Chains A and B, each alone.
Chain A
Amino acid sequence: MAASPAYGEEKGGSSSLGEPEYGHDPASGGIFSSDYKRHDDLKEMLDSNKDSLKLEAMKRIVAMIARGKNASDLFPAVVKNVACKNIEVKKLVYVYLVRYAEEQQDLALLSISTFQRGLKDPNQLIRASALRVLSSIRVPIIVPIMMLAIKEAASDMSPYVRKTAAHAIPKLYSLDSDQKDQLIEVIEKLLADKTTLVAGSVVMAFEEVCPERIDLIHKNYRKLCNLLIDVEEWGQVVIINMLTRYARTQFLSPNQNESLLEESAEKAFYGSEEEDAKDAKAEVASLAKRKPYVMDPDHRLLLRNTKPLLQSRNAAVVMAVAQLYFHLAPKAEVGVIAKALVRLLRSHSEVQYVVLQNVATMSIKRRGMFEPYLKSFYIRSTDPTQIKILKLEVLTNLANETNISTILREFQTYIRSMDKDFVAATIQAIGRCATNIGKVRDTCLNGLVQLLSNRDELVVAESVVVIKKLLQMQPAQHSEIIKHMAKLTDNIQVPMARASILWLIGEYCEHVPKIAPDVLRKMAKSFTNEEDIVKLQVINLAAKLYLTNSKQSKLLTQYVLNLAKYDQNYDIRDRARFIRQLIVPTEKSGALNKYAKKLFLAQKPAPILESSFKDRDHFQLGSLSHLLNTKAVGYQELPDWPDEAPDPSVRNVEVRGASWGAGVLGEPQKVPEWTKCTSREKRKEKVEKPFYSDSEGESGPTESADSEPESVSEESGSSSSSGSSSSSSDEEEEEEEEEEGSGDEEEEEEEGAKKAKKKKAPQGRKGHAETSSEEASASESSSSGSNSGSEAEAKRRKAPPSSRTGPKEISLLDLDDCDHPPPPQPVPSSSIVSTSLVTDLEGLTLTDTSLAPALLSPTFGAVRTYELLHRMAGEGLSVEYCFSRRPFPGDPHMVAVQIQISNNTDAEVKSLRVSEPKPLSGMRIQEFPEIERLAPGDTASVVMGIDFCDSTQAANFQLCTHTRHFYVSIQPPVGELMAPVFMSENEFKKEQGKLTGMSEITEKLTLPEKCRSDHAIVQQVTSAANVGRVPCGADNEYRFAAKTVTSGSLVLITLERREGTTAQLTVNSEKMVIGTMLVKDIVQALAQ
């Protein structure tokens, strides 16, 4: 027992708990009265032969450890039992060892041989626990043994042991980082493991040891994606977070089109001007190559396989998927995470706290996503203050013109809360709403002014501060409020509020010329008793008054400055000295004196009240760093998207035979063969090809690649491979299925030409992405362009005009080719094009469909113009309208109607406006701004919004000029009462499943000859109704989806081609009337 005093000493050093409180320790039972004898009974029990006694002793020892008591002097007695046969005892001994081995390294070595034996045990549980303990005892001398054990365990036949090996890796790494290289080898080996049990643990090890070795993930990427749903919850979180980073380095931004579109106009311009400069061409080619964005199937795989996990019961998993979607998904798809995040708000308050922080950040970038859930962020009086304040933040972020009145009403209740911190935060929130939404600024200001008479001083003070900020935006109109606030100085004591009032009066003393000097007089009286910030503002006020109204305030100012001169605070003395020199002209005072007024009373920019969560998304959402808004130790930056996608083939894995399980959640699996996923992917690519391109492309390029092949073969049998369109389709085909390369191509092209063509192709495609004029110029440039290309190429360049002129109607291309000035009625066409441009820019869900008619169709059929007022009836004024299919700005429930007014009289028409709309119940009309004058022969185009309430009833109103009134009405075709929505095939099917029975209308029809190509069908349907195409796996089926504009009810259209010329049309919609009418319209459109 010579050792025990030494242990006693060490106890003092190793544990910080100071004097052990034995009295509170029921296990010790008052035995340990002296340090020398302590724990003797436990030692005896450990030495006994009875397992029950040993177990009892170990339980008491472990309990001591848990209470933070020092049990290190028992080490020798405990370590003897490491070889104990009783598994219960053994486990507790392990617990003890893990805790104390670090402090007693020499003695701990005695146990190592037991673990080494354990590592060879036939029982996998014992092997695993031996490895676990071995890797948990932090004894540097055994590092080589640990390394060996880990390597061996990594090849163990039991996945459970391999999992433990993965867990051991970070432990060893933290003990000795020199082992990194060897550990990476083990990680690489374990990453290739095919069981779900290992996946999460090894990725965790990867993240801790070598997160920079992204190359190790390539070959395992698809496997990880496919395994994900069956991995245990915690592993899912780690894998999803890692894959988010991975995807950011390997794929292209799915939202790049928005930013590129702006750029591309410029780029195309360069392209058309090219002076045959080869490098310029190369540049264009490379730019173009980048542009037609098609999502990498692996990127899609990740999005698809993580989505079901939004249904996880584990908040961390849901958050992980949410951040993945936020950082990786195309804008149109991010919305799915909102519902799941809102669900988490039902959870424990800590979970709410973290989720709300993330929602706050997201809601700044993607307000629309959470808008439908506005009410879920309403505050309850029982919410903890920190939750209330976060919810308030989200509500403020979500505020916009349409919902602001609801939000303000809600805020009114909050202001009466007993929780004053929360009230203060509400007042600030009101201030932010007022600055962001001009419409309600005055309302908010009035509300805040009322609060100035609140009984609670904190409320008043906070209001003063916020009002000050608001007044700075438009001081001239509010001298009344300033006066009111001046009166408050008599009562309000909160220094910040006093200071704010004084600043306001000083700043706007010209608006309150009478009151300001009086306030200064009062403040001069109380100067010595004020707080420092108030004193500074008194000096400030004095200086400003001196400059503007020195007659009344000269003496007062001097008095204040004198008081300040002898103030205790040096800042105040300093300020007084400085100001005196500046404003009071003396001989010494230099040139600055002249500018004093400018210095003090310069126009100051109004403060911007913005969310503290702005731009916080440069941190990976869901991370600790994001929550703290500062980089935490070990944070891995979320990389920016690459400009060019790295080689996707690195993820290819050799295909081996055998099939694998369906990957059903929770399905027990017998070592599935994940490697097969590649072949599955290939199959998918084929089947879902339209899916990828449709859903992700969202803009011209992909669309043209998709639907043009048909159009070409249909309409231009004569001119064979025609121009840019076919070359773009060719490229697509070459990539996907070589053998399908079109026949005419082979006729025409030689091998060499083929290459040249490939280069050229992107440019042609690019042209389609532009607006009409750009497209025209691009194609013009290619047709009039250099002779540098091969003959074949030149031929192809000439081709487009000829093929385009074929159809009888005017095409956009024609107009430019013939170099005509735009005809006098270009508005509808330009409106379509700009529609697509606008929607592209906004990343809205108008997919190919709306573009198709705009860019591809040679007809104007898509946008029909209707007559509102005939020239005769209108006495020379003719008015036409069309449905621009553009979302109506300001009110998503309104249909935008583009109105074109031409003045055919020979006099000026003045003050054209809408008056006395007589809408049927519920219908709303947003008039266009009055047109002040319209010169003879001029044409004006305006947009008005009408909420038709999802009915085809006409909207009646009067069109007035300065002399006349015309009764007019607009009756919408049923197809215009909706707006396209994006959905995946699965969502479509799911929604369709919900809309059966009465909501389903089916009709058989016969397709006329010219309406049998995919292109024609899509075009006819989309011209009949404003719907978006939904990707579809089957060849003979077409699906479209839209939502009615007012109520947002889904309208799903399915057109199934049967053998021969028959087809079946199905429309599913809650709105039966709309469904029935739509069927009629579409059948008619297709029959034409």
Chain B
Amino acid sequence: MIHSLFLINASGDIFLEKHWKSVVSRSVCDYFFEAQERASEAENVPPVIPTPHHYLLSVYRHKIFFVAVIQSEVPPLFVIEFLHRVVDTFQDYFGSTNVGDQLPTGQLSVVPWRRTGVKYTNNEAYFDVIEEIDAIIDKSGSTITAEIQGVIDACVKLTGMPDLTLSFMNPRLLDDVSFHPCVRFKRWESERILSFIPPDGNFRLLSYHVSAQNLVAIPVYIKHNISFRDSSSLGRFEITVGPKQTMGKTVEGVMVTSQMPKGVLNMTLTPSQGTHIFDPVTKLLSWDVGKINPQKLPSLKGSVSLQAGTSKPDENPTINLQFKIQQLAISGLKVNRLDMYGEKYKPFKGIKYMTKAGKFQVRT
């Protein structure tokens, strides 16, 4: 399957290579560099590049290209998914403890995802229910499409071989689910209960999609007034962010970004709160708003200077929004209970809810 792997950093250096079969010369990456040049942006490099003798399959994460060299037919997703897992593993491994202090030890266990002989003094199991709202809002503020995608991330540190069950108050909300392999599918099918022997440590238990029939509550709105005038080289820019359906919770971590048209030279803006940056090279405006205080709505106002002599841009920029709401699952999903079988001790259990903006866009 994968013949060789090359890691290429942002400046185009191959800084790591690994060969599982005979060595493939790193000159094969030249084809990749060519494609990279053609693509102009890193994210537009085709994930699959055919070359005369090999196929290059790559993923781009953390500003690094992971380029796998393949010699014959293989499902492309097989390789791509695998590369992403490799990156995840790197992230876990290099992100935490001292690098290289301890090499991972091979483990054989009846439960392939859990090593044997796990021991903790404090037995604890935490679950985070995190929901993301993907939405496209049109010019007039009406929702074109909105969906809720959720995950349950777990951090389980339990001694021995615990067997957990987690049930929901309203499992019917979940429309489409995908599981960590530890979850017993049949049990879910018949009883809508998550039953599993957890892996040790951090893992994603479940991803779900909330059924489209339920209307999605949109927690924030943006009022915008962006105009470029043909006659003058100045434009107006004004946006206000406000809370909408927040179920009484505070919206925080609000961040507004917007890609300005090429013709924009600079922006002179004043925020009512938070900090903002306009990068005249990439034309990216970002405004770190912070918390929304419903009594005093945050706004960003000012003028836009346009390239003189050229006509006004055809298009208005799209506004991308990020935000967080603690202690709320916007879909209304609620965990009913968590039980443990198979071990005698009493674990400490905790559940946290959070709602975030996913791909949340406002067209202007």
Interface residues of A (CB under 8 A from B): 14-17, 59, 66-68, 88, 91, 99, 102, 124-125, 136, 138, 160, 171, 174, 197, 229, 232-234, 237, 241, 308, 311-316, 318-320, 339-340, 343, 346, 348-351, 353-355, 375-376, 378, 380-382, 384-386, 410, 413, 416-418, 454-456, 622-625, 627-628, 630, 632-636, 662, 664-668, 986, 990, 994
When the two chains form their complex, are residues B19 and A378 in contact, meaning their CB atoms are under 8 A apart? no
**A311 contacts B77, CB within 8 Å?**
no
Which chain A positions have C-beta within 8 A of B25? Answer: 16
CB distance from B96 to the nearest CB of A (A): 19
B197 within 8 A of A: yes
From A174, A382, A666, B183 is in contact (CB under 8 Å) with A666
A382 contact from B81, B262, B359, Cβ within 8 A = B359
Supply 16 further A-B pairs (C-beta < 8 A) apart from A410-B144, A632-B50, A636-B73.
Answer: A16-B27, A102-B22, A234-B78, A311-B179, A313-B204, A319-B77, A343-B207, A343-B209, A378-B145, A380-B361, A382-B320, A382-B361, A623-B73, A628-B48, A665-B183, A665-B185
Map CB proximity to A onto B318-336 as digits: 1 under 8 Å, 0 otherwise.
1010000000000000000
B185 in contact with A386 (CB, 8 Å): no
Q: Which of B43, B47, B100, B259 contacts A59 (CB 8 A)?
A: B100
Q: Which residues of B contact A320 (CB under 8 A)?
A: 75
B296 adjacent to chain A (CB < 8 Å): no
Residue pair B17, A66 in contact (C-beta under 8 Å): yes
Indicate if B120 sits at the interface (CB-CB under 8 A).
no
Option from B15, B20, B110 in Cβ contact (under 8 Å) with A668: B110
Say yes or no: A68 contacts B261, CB within 8 Å: no
The 8 A-B pairs at the shortest CB distance, nearest first, are namely A634-B72, A665-B185, A384-B43, A381-B318, A350-B47, A375-B145, A316-B77, A635-B73
> Do B186 and A664 have beta carbons less than 8 Å apart?
yes
Closest to B16 in A: A66
Give B residues with C-beta under 8 Å from A.
14-23, 25-27, 41, 43-44, 46-48, 50, 55, 58-61, 70-78, 80-82, 84, 100, 103, 106, 108, 110-112, 134, 136, 138, 144-145, 147, 149, 172, 175-187, 189, 196-197, 204, 207, 209, 259, 261-262, 311, 313-316, 318, 320, 359, 361, 363
Contact indicator A138/B22 (Cβ below 8 Å): yes
Contacts A68-B26, A380-B359, A627-B48 given; indicate if A315 touches B73 (C-beta within 8 A): no
A666 adjacent to B181 (CB under 8 Å): yes
Contacts of A14 in B (CB 8 A): 23
Chain A residues near B176 (CB, 8 Å)?
339-340, 343
Contacts of A311 in B (CB 8 A): 177-179, 185
Given A313-B181, A348-B84, A16:B26 Cβ within 8 A = yes
- Per a CB cutoff under 8 Å, which of B112, B138, B181, B261 touches A665? B181
Set of chain A residues within 8 Å of B22, measured between Cβ atoms = 102, 138
CB-nearest residue of chain B to A59: B100
Residue picked from A353, A355, A990, most chain B C-beta under 10 Å: A353
Indicate if the CB atoms of A385 and B73 lie closer than 8 Å: no
State in angstroms the CA–CA spacing of A351 and B72 once bound together: 20
- Chain B residues contacting A91 (CB-CB under 8 Å) are 103
Question: Do residues A416 and B314 form an inter-chain contact, with CB atoms below 8 A?
Answer: yes
Are B26 and A17 in touch, CB under 8 angstroms? yes
How far does the Cβ of B214 sit from chain A's closest Cβ, in whole Å? 13
Whether the Cβ atoms of A343 and B186 lie closer than 8 Å is: no
Assess the A237–B73 pair: CB atoms within 8 A. Answer: no
Q: Check A233 against B259 for contact (C-beta < 8 Å).
A: no
A-side contacts of B26, CB under 8 Å: 16-17, 68
Residues of B within 8 A of A318 (CB): 178
Best-buried of A232, A384, A994 by chain B (most CB within 10 Å): A384
CB atoms of A386 and B46 under 8 A apart: yes
In whole angstroms, how far apart are the Cα atoms of A312 and B183 in the complex?
A: 10
Q: Are B27 and A312 in contact (CB under 8 A)?
A: no
Given A664-B186, A665-B181, A386 contacting B44 (CB threshold 8 A): yes
Q: Which residue of B43, B180, B259, B311 contacts A418 across the interface (Cβ within 8 Å)?
A: B259
CB pair A416–B73 under 8 Å, yes or no, is: no
Q: Are B184's CB and A667's CB within 8 A?
A: yes
Instruction: State A624–B112 Cα separation when bound (angstroms).
Output: 30
Q: In the complex, what residues of B have CB within 8 A of residue A375's CB?
A: 144-145
Contacts known (A350-B60, A455-B311); A418 close to B15, Cβ less than 8 A: no
Question: Can you name the residue of chain A whose Cβ is closest to the Cβ of B79?
Answer: A316
- Contact across chains for A633 and B72 when beta carbons are under 8 A apart: yes
CB of B306 to closest CB in A, whole Å: 13
**Contacts A124-B108, A381-B259 known; A312 to B178 CB distance under 8 Å?**
yes
What's the nearest-Cβ distance from chain B to residue A144, in Å?
A: 21
From residue A776, how far is it (CB to closest CB) to chain B in Å?
47
Are B320 and A353 in touch, CB under 8 angstroms? Answer: no
Q: State in angstroms the CA–CA spacing of A382 and B357 once bound together.
A: 14
Residues of B within 8 A of A348 (CB): 59, 61, 80, 84
A378 touches B184 (CB 8 A): no
Q: Given the complex of chains A and B, what is the CA–CA distance between A378 and B18 in angstroms?
A: 39
What is the distance, in angstroms, from A119's C-beta to the closest C-beta of chain B? 17
Cα–Cα distance between A160 and B361 once the two chains are bound (Å)? 49
CA gap between A635 and B50 in the complex, in Å: 14
Set of chain B residues within 8 Å of A416, measured between Cβ atoms: 314-316
Given the known inter-chain contacts A350-B60, A624-B48, A632-B55, please indicate yes or no for A378 contacting B179, CB distance below 8 A. Answer: no
Chain B residue nearest in CB terms to A313? B178
Say how far B25's CB is from chain A's closest CB, in angstroms. Answer: 4
CB contact under 8 A between A455 and B75, given known A308-B185, A418-B262 = no
Q: How far is the CA of A323 from the CA of B108 in the complex (A)?
A: 33
Q: In the complex, what distance in Å separates the CA atom of A233 from the CA atom of B262? A: 46
Is the pair A125, B178 in contact by a Cβ cutoff of 8 Å? no
Q: Which residues of chain B are near A234, meaning CB under 8 Å? A: 78, 82
A-B contact pairs, 7 of them (CB 8 A): A68-B26, A234-B82, A455-B314, A623-B76, A624-B70, A664-B185, A994-B172
The distance in angstroms between the C-alpha atoms of A291 and B102, with both chains bound, is: 65
Q: Hey, which chain A residues are within 8 Å of B60, CB to CB? A: 349-350
Closest approach, in angstroms, between the C-beta of B118 and any C-beta of chain A? Answer: 15
CA distance A963 to B70 in the complex (A): 77
Which residues of A have CB within 8 Å of B75?
Answer: 237, 241, 316, 319-320, 622-624
Q: Are A351 and B178 in contact (CB under 8 A)?
A: no
In the complex with contacts A66-B17, A350-B47, A628-B50, A88-B103 CB distance below 8 A? yes
A622 touches B44 (CB 8 A): no
A67 to B147, CA, bound (A): 44
Using Cβ atoms and an 8 Å threshold, which residues of chain B touch A994? 172
The answer for the CA separation of A668 and B74 in the assembled complex, in Å, is 30
CB nearest to B85 among chain A residues:
A314
Residue of A nearest to B27 (CB): A16
Question: Do residues B184 and A350 form an inter-chain contact, with CB atoms below 8 A?
Answer: no
Q: How far is the CA of A671 from the CA of B48 in the complex (A)?
A: 40
> Complex Cα distance A630/B73, Å?
11
Chain A residues within 8 Å of B50, by CB: 628, 630, 632
Residue numbers in A under 8 Å from B197 (CB-CB) = 666, 668
Q: In the complex, which residues of chain A have a beta carbon less than 8 angstroms from the beta carbon of B178? A: 311-313, 318, 340, 343
Nearest chain B CB to A375 CB, angstrom units: 4
Nearest CB on B from A586, distance (A): 51
> How far, in Å, is B360 (CB) from chain A's closest CB?
9
Cα–Cα, bound, A348→B177 (Å) = 18
Q: Which residues of A contact B80 (CB under 8 A)?
A: 315-316, 348, 350-351, 354
Hey, which chain B residues are within 8 Å of A229, CB to CB?
Answer: 185
Let me know if A351 and B318 touch, CB within 8 A. Answer: no
Q: How far is the CB of B33 from chain A (nearest CB, A)?
A: 15
- Assess the B112–A232 pair: CB atoms within 8 A: yes
Inter-subunit contact A354/B262 (CB<8 Å)? no
CB-CB < 8 A to B187: which residues of A?
664
* Option from A66, A312, A319, A350 in Cβ contact (under 8 Å) with B58: A350
B108 and A125 contact, CB distance less than 8 A: yes
Q: Is the CB of A354 within 8 A of B47?
A: yes
Query: Which of B71, B81, B175, B359 has the most CB atoms of chain A within a 10 A radius of its CB?
Result: B81
Is A668's CB under 8 angstroms from B76's CB? no
Taking the closest CB of chain A, its distance from the CB of B349, in whole angstroms, is 21
Give Cα distance in the complex from A1029 to B14, angstroms. Answer: 62
